[in-house]
């Protein structure tokens, strides 16, 4: 069980234009926070900021914590924030097993131990015996599962999902979504998911924030549908347009 993922007044500006207005939010371990919004609205940029890999053209303020650990200024490889994209991004020059070994946390020592971990993970995902396969020979659904396994073997403390179900067909989508959510909840990870699919948001059974483009000026983030609770101090700054904002939080 990880500590909560906490954003403190995180805002992103690109060339003077505010993409993400100051956002303070806490995602508890095992909880899935969904952020929705039109494409190009800066949702994915927020994930790259949290992951520490954004381009320097973005001006970023605020702080990010996982539990008691501040990760704001850490390089990406030391943040322990796993990220899943809509493509599986399995390294094509490595076998399935090597992909998993690449992600395997350094705490697992020894060839036998890591092979055992990898086999166990594959078995658990219904992919027993796939370790030596070329990722290109796997189906889309299988590859997606391997990508999640790889991420989990790195023992992250928070999970960032960048529309990871987008490219899967409807049937596989539901399956994989359940697979991801179950694993995240078993590991007790705070999850921040970006999507524009309402079904994703409903399946997450967590709070939903919506990033709205204001006609002029600053965009607005507001609490829309969704169940689950956000902490009291969750704050979404009002933008210029005076919409009723999600500062009202049920607890």
Partner 1 sequence: MSAPHVAHSPLWLRQAPRLTVALFLVPIAAGLLGTVLPAFGWLPAIGGRSVSLAPWKALFSQPGIRDAIGLTLVTGLTATVLSVILVFGFCALVHGRRPGRAGRALIAPILATPHAAMAIGLGFLIAPSGWIVRLLSPWLTGWHQPPDIASVQDPHGIALTLGLLVKEVPYLLLMTITALGQVPAVRHMDAAAALGYGRTVAWVKPVLPQVYRQVRLPIYAVLTYALSVVDMALILGPSNPPTLSVLALRWFTSPDIRMYFPAAAAALLQLAIVLVSIGLWRGAETLVAHLGRRWIARGARGTLLEPLAGLSAIAVAGLAGLGVGSLAALAVWSFAAGWRFPDMLPAHWSARPWSGQIGTILWPLETTLVVALFASGCALLLGLACLEHEQRRGVAASSRTLWLLYVPLLVPQIAFLFGMQVLLTVFHLDGSLIAVIWSHLLFVLPYVFLSLADPWRALDKRYARTALSLGARPRRVFLRIKLPLLLRPVLIAAAVGVAVSVDQYLPTIFAGAGRIVTLTTEAVTLASGGDRRVTGVFGLLQSLIPLAVYGIALGVSGRNRFRRHALGAQS
Binding site for partner 1 (CB under 8 A): 48-49, 51-57, 60-63, 72-83, 85, 87, 89, 91-93, 102-103, 105-106, 134, 136, 150-151, 154, 156, 160
Radius of gyration of the chain (CA): 18
Closest among 44, 54, 51 to 66, alpha carbons compared: 51
In the complex, least distance from residue 70 CB atom to partner 1, rounded to whole angstroms: 11
Closest distance between partner 1 and the C-beta of residue 249, in Å?
A: 26
Nearest approach in angstroms of CB 48 to partner 1 is 7
Q: How far is the CB of 97 from partner 1 (least distance, A)?
A: 13
Our CB check for partner 1 shows the closer of 152 and 203 to be 152
Q: Alpha-carbon distance 13 to 175, whole Å? A: 36
Q: Give the position of tokens 């921040």.
A: 192
Lateral strand order in the sheet of 5-14: 69-70, 58-66, 5-14, 17-27, 235-236
Q: Please state, in angstroms and rounded to a whole number, the distance separating the CA atoms of residues 134 and 116.
A: 19
Q: Which is nearer to partner 1, 89 or 249 (CB)?
A: 89
Please, what is the minimum distance in Å from the beta carbon of residue 51 to partner 1?
6
Between 113 and 199, CB nearer to partner 1: 113
Strand partners, 208: 34
Rounded distance between C-alpha atoms, residue 47 and residue 10, angstroms = 11
Nearer to partner 1 by Cβ, of 161 and 203: the residue is 161
- Closest CB to partner 1 among residues 3, 62: 62
């Amino acid at each position: 069980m990880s500590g909560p993922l906490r954003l403190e007044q995180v805002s992103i500006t690109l060339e003077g234009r505010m993409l993400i207005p100051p956002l303070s939010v806490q995602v508890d371990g095992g909880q899935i926070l969904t952020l929705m919004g039109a494409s190009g609205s800066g949702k994915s940029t927020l994930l790259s900021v949290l992951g520490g890999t954004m381009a320097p053209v973005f001006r970023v303020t605020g702080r990010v914590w996982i539990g008691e650990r501040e990760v704001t200024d850490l390089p990406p490889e030391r943040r322990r924030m796993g990220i899943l994209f809509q493509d599986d991004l399995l390294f094509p020059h490595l076998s399935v097993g090597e992909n998993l070994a690449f992600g395997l946390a350094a705490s697992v020592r020894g060839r036998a131990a890591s092979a055992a971990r990898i086999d166990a993970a594959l078995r658990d995902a219904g992919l027993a015996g796939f370790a030596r396969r070329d990722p290109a020979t796997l189906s889309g659904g299988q590859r997606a599962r391997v990508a999640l396994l790889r991420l989990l073997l790195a023992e992250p403390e928070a999970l960032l999902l960048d529309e990871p179900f987008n490219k899967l067909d409807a049937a596989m989508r539901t399956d994989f979504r359940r697979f991801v959510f179950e694993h995240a909840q078993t590991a007790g990870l705070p999850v921040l998911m970006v999507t524009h699919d309402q079904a994703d948001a409903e399946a997450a059974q967590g709070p939903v924030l919506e990033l709205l483009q204001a006609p002029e000026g600053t965009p607005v983030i507001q609490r829309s549908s969704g169940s689950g609770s956000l902490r009291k101090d969750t704050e979404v700054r009002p933008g210029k347009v005076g919409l009723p904002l999600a500062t009202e939080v049920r607890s």
